[in-house]
Amino acid sequence: MAMDYPELRLFIGGRWIGLDGRRGEPVYNPATGNVLAELPHATEADLDEALASAAAGFDRWRRTSPVERARVLQQTSARMLERRDQIAALITLELGKPIAEAKAEVEQAAGIFNWNAEEGRRAYGRVIPPRTQGAMQFAVREPLGPIAAFASWNAPAITPSRKISGALAAGCSVIIKASEETPATALAIAALLQESGLPDGVLNVVFGNPAEISAKLIGSPIIRGITFTGSTSVGKQLASLAVQGMKRMTLELGGHAPVVIFQDVDPEAVALSAVTAKYRNAGQVCTSPTRFYVHRSIHDRFVARFTELARAIKVGNGLDPATKMGPLANARRLEAMDRFLDDARSRQIAIPVGGKRIGGEGCFYSPTLIANVDEECLVSNVEPFGPIAATTAFDTAEDAIRLCNRLPFGLASYVMTNDMRNAGAMIDGIEAGNVIVNHWQASLPETPFGGYKDSGVGSEGGVEGLQAFQNIKYVSEHRPPS
Ligand code: NAD
């Protein structure tokens, strides 16, 4: 076991529960392949206890004033910032992300807690003018109920923070199954909430076989809503379970983000910021810019500069401050990258940079660009979720819009232009939950984030993210005449 990595436990009803004879699984450091610790799996009885705790926790938390809820969330945010470096080290150990990126992630997660703390106090309803004199009509927001949350491994602090702080701010209790690959970060967040005075049972953290846990939790009548971040295929399975019980759902699924680069921008300058955006977290980000549609007149200049910059990226252990890109999260991602490259090679498509594993220990892969891809190529159709970018030349704005919209995904999209007509055409034409013009920041705590089509259902972030955890109750009172 590594020195800085904690013993892993479940967190149910305010109790920390260790292996104690339970089945478990090892958690690996993807930079070294070493086992960090053994993660206990929740038993059937543990899950029953988590459900009962969430039910009792909800009963208490929904009656807790929004001001008190805000205090708990704000204190958690403050503690998260105080312990930024320790939590960041956990992220780097279990995911591989460079330490500077991990610190920035913890800061963002703290910002999300703070935003939800503030916004939870403003869960205003509205008064609706009545048709009858003496009547009162209003609509109020009420917490949905106990929430089952499922978080992926690629943003171990941000994803659980969005789900937990959004649900808690709305007055819901939560059972979260964070990723089995990045459990310590989620447990650190739970510990901060407990320290900040969150009552027992309001948050529960479990791990185990994802399919078994999701079937059990979503199938329980106690759970009233689900929130999931992960792949589209798993999202669809969970959605069908949720529909059986008429449960509200928020699904953040795959992206495969397009980037449209018009001829009026400097291709070398765009390549510089694009390389930073693309290889952040080794491309394992649902908003990662991947399908680069570049105007034909500047395509080759963009590719040349992008190639130069990608080749210069220092890949290594994320704990080394000089590292700019860490390993991939696991061996599954390495195998996935190989499939994209095998496909490109079989089609004789140019690979100006990267395209191979970096040998030795750990899950390292080189920053990769596949240039001039056609529409049949695997990378043109399937989200790589890794350090692979692909370019295609386009001629007209209509052409670019068609390319952006040809896949069933629509999460983030990016446009680089100084021409308002192009920007307007893209904003109107792209079918995606985010259209980001002339920069790469696709989400903030206060902005809604969600997908069109197969990229998901509903939004996280912003007031929309909070409303995902609320019901609307309409009240109409006819007062007796005095
Ligand atoms: P995966 O589909 O096996 O798992 C994705 C996540 O869902 C994991 O955290 C996993 O533990 C969880 N999961 C799997 N089956 C589940 C179930 N039945 N119930 C509840 N949770 C379940 O894929 P993976 O290999 O971990 O990740 C690769 C793919 O996932 C990528 O291609 C990418 O498109 C997608 N992904 C998307 C996001 C995102 O932010 N939208 C995040 C992570 C992964």
Kindly state whether residues 234 and 342 are assigned to the same domain: no
Kindly state whether residues 219 and 281 are assigned to the same domain: no
Per-residue pLDDT tens over the stretch 332-348: 999 999 999 999 999 99
Measured from the CA of 332, which atom of ligand 1 is nearest?
25
Of the pLDDT bands very low, low, confident and very high (cuts 50, 70, 90), residue 479 is: confident
Kindly state whether residues 213 and 132 are assigned to the same domain: yes
**Angle (CA) 241 244 250, round 5°:** 55
195 in active site: no
286 in active site: yes
Q: Reduced to 3 states, what is the DSSP secondary structure of residue 247?
A: coil
Kindly state whether residues 222 and 297 are assigned to the same domain: no
Q: Is 20 contained in some domain? A: yes
User: pTM for the complete prediction?
Assistant: 0.97
According to DSSP, the residues that pair with 365 across neighbouring strands are 357
Kindly state whether residues 435 and 463 are assigned to the same domain: no
Q: Does pLDDT of 38 surpass 50?
A: yes
Per-residue pLDDT tens over the stretch 459-475: 999 999 999 999 999 99
CATH of the domain at 35: 3.40.605.10
Share of the chain above pLDDT 70, in %: 99
Per-residue pLDDT tens over the stretch 407-420: 999 999 999 999 99
Kindly state whether residues 30 and 176 are assigned to the same domain: yes
Q: Among the options 94, 119, 286, 404, which is catalytic?
A: 286
For helices 158-170 and 99-120, angle between their N-to-C axes, nearest 10 degrees: 10
| Distance separating alpha carbons of residues 353 and 311, to the nearest angstrom | 6
Kindly state whether residues 231 and 303 are assigned to the same domain: no
Kindly state whether residues 309 and 206 are assigned to the same domain: no
Q: Is 449 contained in some domain? A: no
256 and 283 in contact (C-beta within 8 Å)? no
Q: Does pLDDT of 64 surpass 70?
A: yes
Per-residue pLDDT tens over the stretch 126-164: 999 999 988 999 999 999 999 999 999 999 999 999 999
Kindly state whether residues 248 and 269 are assigned to the same domain: no
Distance 250 CA to ligand 1 centre (A): 15
| Distance separating alpha carbons of residues 347 and 164, to the nearest angstrom | 45
Which residue is closest in CA terms to ligand 1's atom 22?
Answer: 210
Q: For residue 104, give its domain range.
A: 10-253+455-473
Of the pLDDT bands very low, low, confident and very high (cuts 50, 70, 90), residue 441 is: very high
Quote the mean pLDDT of the chain.
97
Q: Is 4 contained in some domain? A: no
CATH of the domain at 389: 3.40.309.10
Distance 213 CA to ligand 1 centre (A): 14
Which residue is closest in CA terms to ligand 1's atom 44?
Answer: 230
Mean pLDDT of 85-114: 98
Kindly state whether residues 70 and 137 are assigned to the same domain: yes
Going by DSSP bridges, is the β-strand pair 257-261/452-453 parallel, antiparallel, or unpaired?
unpaired
Q: Is 2 contained in some domain? A: no
Q: Which stretches of 196-326 are DSSP H helices?
A: 210-219, 232-244, 267-279, 299-311
| Distance separating alpha carbons of residues 293 and 430, to the nearest angstrom | 13
Q: Is 303 contained in some domain? A: yes
Mean pLDDT of 263-277: 98
Q: Reduced to 3 states, what is the DSSP secondary structure of residue 274?
A: helix
Q: Domain count for the chain, please give it.
A: 2
